[in-house]
Amino acid sequence: MTRPTFHRILLKLSGEVLMGSGQFGIDPATVKRVAEEILAIREAGYQLCIVVGGGNIFRGVAGQAQGFDRATGDYMGMLATVMNALAVQNALELLGVETRVQSAIPMASVCEPFIRRRAERHLEKGRVVIFAAGVGSPYFTTDSGAALRAAEMKCDALFKGTSVDGVYDADPKTVPGATRYEEIDFSTVLNKNLKIMDASAIALCRDNNIPIVVFNIREQGNLALVLAGEGIATIVRNGE
């Protein structure tokens, strides 16, 4: 199968990706490695937006289970994404990549607020724009934030970096013989309830015709390979 080529992409990094082999928090060596992957694709000329998650630090749902008010927990989760965004920004800037962080929750002394036209200008100037705080509202996730920003920034595709190399018909970590899809359409993902991203994020991508490319970001060099149409991944898009 030949994969389409993309120019402007949105990369979704879940918090989990940033904790490396740890169980919690930010692993500087892992963040550095991810930054190197990003540097490689910047150098290859792609325009890049990043949405970072916060699950390595705090999730509202987990907070609720421990007695937190859900919305309060979600705001804490959004603040966690800002910490991760700053960690990614720092690692990228150490490599000489110009970046800007824009948060959906304004935080004037920490980063820029989300302003679409301003983000557009940053991209035109070759900067990597890191979007933090998801959509800025509780009861959402950063997957929804990623789909929303991908649509607003007119990205050609949403790249979802995970710890598996694509979308399987069953969980490959628990079901032996699970098979990976090379390509699958949005409705099949939704009908089979395949857990790639939240249903709301998938529906937003479907409605705006933004393909989702699911790939393993833990494998070194994979992001550049997958972007070049090589490497192992699953592409989710609207059927013919």
Which one among 37, 49, 134, 189 touches ligand UDP, defined by CB under 6 A? Answer: 134
Q: Which is nearer to ligand UDP, 33 or 185 (CB)?
A: 33
Kindly state whether residue 149 participates in binding ligand UDP, applying the rule CB under 6 A.
no
Residues 24-53 close enough to bind ligand UDP by CB under 6 A: 53
Chain residue whose CB lies nearest ligand UDP = 53
Q: Is position 162 an interface residue for ligand UDP (rule: CB under 6 A)?
A: no
Judged by CB under 6 A, the residue of 15, 20, 166, 231 near ligand UDP is 15
Q: How far is the CB of 212 from ligand UDP (least distance, A)?
A: 14
- Tell the smallest beta-carbon distance from residue 96 to ligand UDP (Å): 27
Q: Which residues of 55-87 are buried (b: 16+ CB within 10 A; e: fewer)?
A: bbbbbbeebeeeebeeeebbbbbbbbbbbbbbb
Task: Pick from 119, 135, 197, 235 the residue near ligand UDP by CB under 6 A.
Answer: 135
DSSP the chain: -PPPP-SEEEEEE-HHHHTTTSSSS--HHHHHHHHHHHHHHHHTT-EEEEEE--TTT--HHHHHHTT--HHHHHHHHHHHHHHHHHHHHHHHHHTT--EEEEESS--TTTSEEP-HHHHHHHHHTT-EEEEESTTSSTT--HHHHHHHHHHHTT-SEEEEEESSSSEESS-TTTSTT--EESEEEHHHHHHTT--SS-HHHHHHHHHTT--EEEEESSSTTHHHHHHTT-SSEEEEE---
Smallest gap from residue 178 Cβ to ligand UDP (A):
22
Residue 20 binds ligand UDP, judged by CB under 6 A: no
State yes or no: residue 152 binds ligand UDP (CB under 6 A): no
- Which span (42-50, 70-78, 109-117, 164-172) binds ligand UDP, by CB under 6 A? 70-78
Which tokens belong to 119? Answer: 């983000």
Per CB under 6 A, the list member of 140, 159, 168, 215 interacting with ligand UDP is 140
Does 148 contact ligand UDP by CB under 6 A? no
CB of 197 to ligand UDP, least distance (A): 9
Nearest partner of 40 among 225, 196, 186, 187, judged by Cα: 225
Which of 30, 89, 102, 142 touches ligand UDP by CB under 6 A?
A: 142
Q: Given the rule CB under 6 A, which residues bind ligand UDP?
A: 14-16, 53-55, 59-61, 73-74, 77-78, 80-81, 134-135, 137-138, 140-145
